[in-house]
Amino acid sequence: MAEVHVIGQIVGATGFSENSLFCKWGIHTGAAWKLLSGLREGQTQVDTPQIGDMAYWSHPIDLHFATKGLQGWPRLHLQVWSQDSFGRCQLAGYGFCHVPSSPGTHQLDCPTWRPLGSWREQLARAFVGGGPQLLHADAIYSGADRYRLHTAAGGTVHLELGLLLRHFDRYGVEC
């Protein structure tokens, strides 16, 4: 079987109006993909930017996949959360990006968004916290339902990913 190694990090995030940010991440693949080693999901630590608006996480990602085909190429889905001084967490943004398909080192910028909700939910978010969230996380990367939502732009998550491809030539795929 062909193999894909994804090695890198979630560097951090910029452009969010909230402070004390952390990121929950996961990887989604098609049925022909098997995770040989690494974690399919994870969470960074909370970082409060001291200078500028960049929250630094430097959270490692190390995944090793085997695949029988190219369908269902890996996608990273991200959820950025903010934490207030009382420890309450509030959604700051959802985002996703495809793992690059060419070997080498890649710098990725993943834009994020969050659901707006009704005017009452927006008012409650401003004064009490919380706010609307997706019921099904797969709406982050599936286009059908996502485009019907009313959303607000969030910040950008920055990633550095290195890709190694192995045995793709045996299956007729040129790298």
In the chain the domains, ranked by start, together with CATH numbers, are 2-114+156-171 (2.60.40.150)
According to the model, what pLDDT value does residue 47 have?
95
Cβ-contact 166, 3 below 8 angstroms:
yes
% of the chain at pLDDT higher than 90: 58
H helical segments located in the chain: 119-127, 143-146
**Token pair for 169:** 């030539």
pTM score, two decimals? Answer: 0.87
User: What is the amino acid identity at position 14?
Assistant: T
According to the model, what pLDDT value does residue 88 have?
82
Cβ-contact 62, 38 below 8 angstroms:
yes
117 phi, psi to nearest 5 deg: 80, -170
The pLDDT tens digits for 134-169 are 766 666 666 666 566 778 889 999 999 999 999 888
The residue assigned the tokens 């969010």 is: 16
Those residues of the chain that have pLDDT short of 50 are none
